[in-house]
Amino acid sequence: MTILRLLARQTRLPGATDNTRYGEGRASPRSFLTHHVVNISTAIQTADAQTILNAASARMLRVSYGVIIASSSGSSISVDDLATTVRVLKALASADGGPTAEYREPRFKPLREAIQLYVDDVRARLFHGQGADKYTRRKENKRRLDAKAQQERAMDRAAAEKTQMRAERLRMLADLERQGGAAALMLVPDGAVADGDGVAFRASLAALTHEAHDSSGAYAAAADEAGAGAAAAHGETELRMLRACYACKVRFKVLHHFYAQLCPECAALNFAKRNQTASLSGRVFLVTGARVKIGFHVVLKLLRCGATVLATSRFPADTAARYAAQPDASSWIDRLRIYGLDMRDLSSLELFCRHLIGTCHRLDGIVNNACQTIRRPAAYYAHLMPLELQPGTWNPEAPLWSAEPGVPQPDEGTASQFPLGVVDVNGQQLDTRTTNSWLLKLHEVSTPEVAEVLAINALAPFILNSRLRGLLEATPDRPAFVVNVSAMEGKFYRYKTPNHPHTNMAKAALNMMTRTCAEELASCGVLMNSVDTGWINDENPLEKAAATAAHNHFQTPLDEIDAAARILDPILSVVNGGEHVHGKFLKDYRPIEW
């Protein structure tokens, strides 16, 4: 009777819950099946069959493994009853773990019927309602498919690593680790890839170490060696798995020879725009923030198109060294004028505007590129000061602004976090702090940082655009141009995290200037637009950015040359006879929502 009562169909008791069924807190459905259902066929050797039938059909008791639960009739299953049942079930199990032959005898048919409910329930839990064989086959098939998908992802990743931008970045990073002794530090594969030959990278290193005029010819030889790889055939690879295009989000399989994250259509457009040129001979352009990265390549592109460029930077001596290190510098260096100017010093900016008005007869365009996204402490710029403070024609005040500690910040770090002589692929000081401006929330941003960001990113462009309007309108080659370099941070029609609200505010203000002023300026022959540069670098602290790059094989989809091409497209396209676009926020060479 003990076994029969335990196997009877369960009846819910007052106050009972679903988790008081068999196995509560003691055994899983799998162990219940193994130790009870499988062996139950041999559990009862002497029980009377009719007694079993009567007890099984009564359905009076709930089963609880390890507790005593009373039925509605007042009877209960004691611990002794349960122990007896378990002992009998174990005794009827064969040596190999299955039921004995005795279980198959006709006298045990009522027992088999009684346990069917539990067998069905456990099978559903173990195999999702399938048979064990079918379940095993499905699991094995899934394992094979997962292994195949993993292999295909690895093969696609290997193919992507061979695209020109990614491969050159990895090679540049390896060169940097060898030359700079920074192998032990976390570095990120980014930076501009100039025609796949690494000239921009090697030139920045040469400028940093002031080897631009090295008579040994070592730099030229290195550049020639790097350029040899550009002669490889531009084949296209078909991926095994679909991936999403960075620009248009369409899924694609055909891999471009240069871009790994653009579909064929977007890759063709970006590559053509990247190499777009126009005749700008005789035209004059002002570019702010011209020392490194995007501004550097904007100036280079304008110079190579024949324009005269007025370039500003806080560090004019370092800026001059970087441009002089370019292999083709002799063909345009006489058309480059560099001004030492700190955009935080608004009074000096006003004086600079007066200087241009008094000395220039025309201005064909302004590129408001200077911005502050990550605030760097004085230690970050310390290595630049010796060259900047040498006697020369530069404004000596500009570098001093960045060299003085100013108001302490929680993220400023110490000198040890800016290892002397260790640079990134852009030839800039390595910043190993574990937090920076990109991670700050509203209450964490200091008043000086907010003021600096708004001054550099919004007030300075406002002053330049307003004070130099007369020069823009005076140019004989209409139209003139104003490009306000913006970002997705300034876009309202986009999800925002709670981080870096001050930079979001500044870019939104810059966009509002374009939205407000462009129509009226266009009536005077000046085309003003805001342009998003695209994703060219990870602004997170180095530790986090390096971890992302290592774990996810991540690289940004575009580089600084792509960003420069996007900034200059509203100018070059018009000069080449394209549409006179104005008053737009341009991303991926197309207008988008504000």
Supply the pLDDT for residue 417: 85
In a domain, 146, yes or no: no
Tokens of 318: 């370092």
Asked if pLDDT for residue 319 goes beyond 60, the answer is: yes
Answer yes or no: do 196 and 97 share one domain: no
Q: What is the CATH number of the domain that holds 529?
A: 3.40.50.720
Indicate the residue among 129, 146, 180 that finishes a domain: 129
Indicate the residue among 129, 152, 186 that finishes a domain: 129
Answer yes or no: do 410 and 485 share one domain: yes
Supply the pLDDT for residue 348: 95
Asked if pLDDT for residue 54 goes beyond 60, the answer is: no
Answer yes or no: do 110 and 186 share one domain: no
Answer yes or no: do 105 and 224 share one domain: no
Supply the pLDDT for residue 529: 98
Write out pLDDT tens, residues 389-436. 887 655 555 555 555 555 555 556 667 788 887 888 888 888 889 899
Supply the pLDDT for residue 168: 93
Residue of 431 and 350 predicted with greater confidence: 350
d(CA 517, CA 529): 10
Highest mean pLDDT among 95-99, 157-161, 480-484: 480-484
Supply the pLDDT for residue 200: 45
- pLDDT averaged over the chain? 80
In a domain, 248, yes or no: no
Answer yes or no: do 473 and 324 share one domain: yes
In a domain, 270, yes or no: no
Which DSSP string corresponds to 279-340?
--TT-EEEESS-SSHHHHHHHHHHHHTT-EEEEEES-HHHHHHHHHTSTTGGGTGGGEEEEE
pLDDT range class, residue 42, cuts 50, 70, 90:
very low
d(CA 220, CA 66): 83
* Mean pLDDT, residues 291-306: 97
Write out pLDDT tens, residues 203-236. 444 444 443 333 334 333 333 343 333 334 456 7
Answer yes or no: do 122 and 64 share one domain: yes
Answer yes or no: do 207 and 99 share one domain: no
Query: How many CA atoms lie less than 13 Å away from 210 in the CB half-sphere?
Result: 8
- Nearest Cα residue to 85 out of 99, 70, 66: 66
In a domain, 147, yes or no: no
In a domain, 244, yes or no: no
Q: Give the sign of the dihedral formed by CA 303, CA 306, CA 311, CA 315.
A: positive
In a domain, 480, yes or no: yes
Does the predicted model carry a pTM greater than 0.75? no
Residue 34 lies in domain: 2-129
The region of weakest confidence among 108-122, 292-306, 358-372, 448-462 is 108-122
d(CA 487, CA 490): 6
Structural element, H or E, at residue 376: none
Residue of 30 and 577 predicted with greater confidence: 577
Answer yes or no: do 177 and 82 share one domain: no
8 A C-beta contact, residue 319 and residue 313: yes
Answer yes or no: do 332 and 197 share one domain: yes
Answer yes or no: do 216 and 108 share one domain: no
Supply the pLDDT for residue 82: 86
Share of the chain above pLDDT 90, in %: 50
In a domain, 198, yes or no: yes
Question: How many structural domains comprise the chain?
Answer: 2
Answer yes or no: do 79 and 188 share one domain: no
Answer yes or no: do 53 and 174 share one domain: no
In a domain, 16, yes or no: yes
Which DSSP string corresponds to 408-468?
--TT---GGGS-TT-B-TTS-B----S--GGG--GGGS-HHHHHHHHIIIIIHHHHHHHHT
Write out pLDDT tens, residues 103-116. 878 887 887 787 78
* Mean pLDDT, residues 525-550: 92
Amino acid at position 506, single letter: A
